[in-house]
Amino acid sequence: MANDLCFPLVAASFRPMARRGPRSIDDPTDRLPKASLNRESVREMLAFASYVAPYRRRFLAGLATLFFSAACGLVFPLLAGALIDAAMRPGGAVLPVVGPISLNGLALVLLCSVTLQAMASFNSSLSFNRVGQSALADLRGDTYRRLIGMPMAFFGQRRVGELTSRVSTDIAQLEGALIDALPQMCRQTVFLLGGVTMIAVTSGKLTLVMLCTLPVLIAAAIFFGRRLRRYARETQDRLAETNTIVEETFQAIASVKAFANEDFELKRYSTANRRVLEAAFNTARWRAVFVAFFIIALFGGIVIVLWFGAGQLRAGEITAGELTRFVLYTTFVAGAMGQSAELFSQVQKTVGASQRVRELLREPVEEGLDPEHPSDHEPAFPRLKGEVSFKDVSFRYPSRPEVPVLSSVNLDARAGERIALVGPSGAGKSTITALLLRFYEPESGRVVIDGRDASDYPLRWLRGQMAIVPQDVLLFGGTIAENIVYGRPGAGDDEVRNAARLANADDFIRAFPEGYSTIVGDRGIKLSGGQRQRIAIARAILKNPAILILDEATNSLDSESEQLVQTALDRLMQGRTSFIIAHRLATVRDADKIAVIEGGRVVELGTHDELNAKADGLYRRLSSLQFGESELPRDGGLFRAPA
């Protein structure tokens, strides 16, 4: 009630900062682009009604109590005016339908009306919040499920920040619309229509006077509102610049200190901070002017209405209660009209957010991962033997269709063989393993596994038969045990410890005070590179794959860590088909086959001795660049570095 009686237009102008608690000046929802309102965009927004459908009973109950609360609010000026008339008349006042009623009776009815309005408002607010939060939790779940089911080509064409925004900022805008904007629109519509009707019934002359003053207030609200939003956006942009400086400085703090540029960074930040202060002062100045003007305009309009109404009161054309009722209803109408601009702006942002989220929900996902068509019963296949063949495989990345990455690649691996992929950076080595994992599909040719086309296997089952140990291991931020069990969710503690022992990780894990419950930190930052590698190897051992992919698994380790990791990898590769990507040729001397990749083609294929015997071969040239012309010493280990 207080919101609708005390300076409603002023409250409407500051509603973006007051709605649902304090908001940061850099609130991302204020930056959302607005979409035009048309039939198609509104249809997109209404499509989200399916998420409200499971909670429609509570939603309808909240809507009913919302209208009841608004109706009680409209009754308040009527009863307040009657109360004043009752105080000035010995016989009390006459209420429509009810008839004559005393002063005490009116006060009791007024109190009951306020109580009912409070109870109805409580119920409607609680209902809309529960329905909104439940529906949006379902939407967030579906959006995340859709995102995580997207193919790698999708992620290759979009930034992580953009996708995160879909799950956070866009859905937050939908939340604001469902929980705040929709109830406000319903309530203000009732106040506007009911208020206009009641002031017209109360006094036609006063209605004309009020209508003459109201456009000034509306025009002022729109004029100042636009400028305040513009200056607020400018402040946000400049504040974002200072945040960028802070982020860049801390990310490159070693360079800042190495070049002794602390003063330079302080000066850069001070300059940006001064711009923020200037923009904030401009906003404050316009807000102060707006408040001062609005007080004059609002109270000036009320003074005009009261002056004209007082003349009618003295002439006996209206009663004191009718004049009071008229002023209160005028305030309701002004408040409803003042909030209309902000509500319309929020609806435009909501339409834009709904379009972006709907666009995401329509994206095709990988097979078996569509939430609308789940694959509950996948065909059963025996464990893979690990025979792999690339037959005339060509490929281009969807994000770079003009650049051929692989051209007619032919490569065979028998079960249990160790295939090394070597060659210059950008030759296509990692792309071969990406096609093996079916992150992408070949443009032409086939990838055959155990005599069947890779696409014949259920995708999730096929990937369940493979494991990868990358060069840069990014662990999840939980415990060591949680990161290992990620290889096979549901594995027991004994299986996790056994995998860690085989990966030469058990000793360093037990050395931590919390043991396997040690938190590894964001991306495993609390562990060394060698420790992270051994955790990744333990994860792969626990998965027990038929096909193993090692992507530069020992490239960036110190000698001691490399020795431990090499031993663990030797154990891991036993009895499995292994594809080993390597730049350091000393690590692949004992591979069963070495495929030399250049320009997206397999230009040489053979053992180390066979390839090294080719005087003009690429493999020999790469060997001489790394180690000179002398032959590397043989030490019998697949991943042994030269002595």
Closest CA to 607 of 417, 425, 424: 417
Range in 78-87, 107-116, 513-522 the model is least confident about: 78-87
- Asked if 173 and 16 touch (Cβ cutoff 8 Å), the reply is no
Per-residue pLDDT, averaged over 28-47, amounts to: 59
On the question of pLDDT at 266 being above 60, the answer is yes
CB atoms within 10 A of CB 613: 12
- Please tell me the predicted confidence (pLDDT) of residue 268: 86
Per-residue pLDDT, averaged over 490-518, amounts to: 88
- Asked if 195 and 336 touch (Cβ cutoff 8 Å), the reply is yes
According to DSSP, residue 512 is labeled S
- Asked if 181 and 349 touch (Cβ cutoff 8 Å), the reply is no
Q: Where in the chain is the domain with CATH 3.40.50.300?
A: 384-465+547-643, 475-544
- Please tell me the predicted confidence (pLDDT) of residue 414: 92
List residues bridging with 95 in a β-sheet: 99
Element housing 598 (H / E): strand 593-598
- Please tell me the predicted confidence (pLDDT) of residue 546: 92
d(Cα 102, Cα 83) in Å, to the nearest integer? 9
Residue appearing with tokens 């154990």: 571
List residues bridging with 76 in a β-sheet: none
> Over the stretch 327-353, which tens digit does the pLDDT of each residue have?
787 777 777 766 766 677 677 777 777
Q: What percent of the chain has pLDDT over 90?
A: 10
* DSSP string computed for 375-436: --SPPP-PPP---EEEEEEEEE-TT-TTSEEEEEEEEEE-TT-EEEEE-STTSSHHHHHHHH
CB environment 550-564: b (16+ within 10 A), e (fewer): bbbbbeebeeebbbb
Residue 165 vs residue 336, higher pLDDT: 336
| Identity of residue 365 | V
Element housing 603 (H / E): strand 601-606
Phi, psi for 243 (deg, rounded to 5):
-65, -35
Range in 389-403, 452-466, 529-543, 550-564 the model is least confident about: 550-564
- Please tell me the predicted confidence (pLDDT) of residue 164: 74
Torsion angle (degrees, nearest 10) of CA 211, 213, 214, 219: 130
Q: Which fold has domain 384-465+547-643?
A: Rossmann fold (3.40.50)
What is the chain's mean pLDDT, rounded?
A: 77
- Please tell me the predicted confidence (pLDDT) of residue 19: 37
Q: Across 101-110, 200-209, 386-395, 585-594, which has the greatest mean pLDDT?
A: 386-395
Per-residue pLDDT, averaged over 615-630, amounts to: 74
- Asked if 554 and 502 touch (Cβ cutoff 8 Å), the reply is no
Helices within 252-319 (DSSP H only): 253-258, 262-314
> Over the stretch 373-418, which tens digit does the pLDDT of each residue have?
555 455 567 888 989 999 999 999 887 888 899 999 999 999 999 9
d(Cα 88, Cα 103) in Å, to the nearest integer? 10
- Please tell me the predicted confidence (pLDDT) of residue 564: 76
Confidence bin at 313 (pLDDT 50/70/90): confident
Domain 475-544: CATH superfamily is P-loop containing nucleotide triphosphate hydrolases (3.40.50.300)
On the question of pLDDT at 572 being above 70, the answer is yes
Confidence bin at 22 (pLDDT 50/70/90): very low
CB atoms within 10 A of CB 394: 16
- Please tell me the predicted confidence (pLDDT) of residue 27: 46
Residues in Cβ contact with 186 at an 8 Å cutoff, skipping those fewer than 6 apart:
63, 66, 67, 70
Q: Across 17-31, 216-230, 367-381, which has the greatest mean pLDDT?
A: 216-230
Residue 95 vs residue 395, higher pLDDT: 395
Range in 28-42, 117-131, 597-611 the model is least confident about: 28-42
What's the predicted TM-score (pTM) here? Answer: 0.65
Q: To 10 degrees, what angle do helices 39-46 and 320-361 make? A: 80
On the question of pLDDT at 525 being above 90, the answer is no
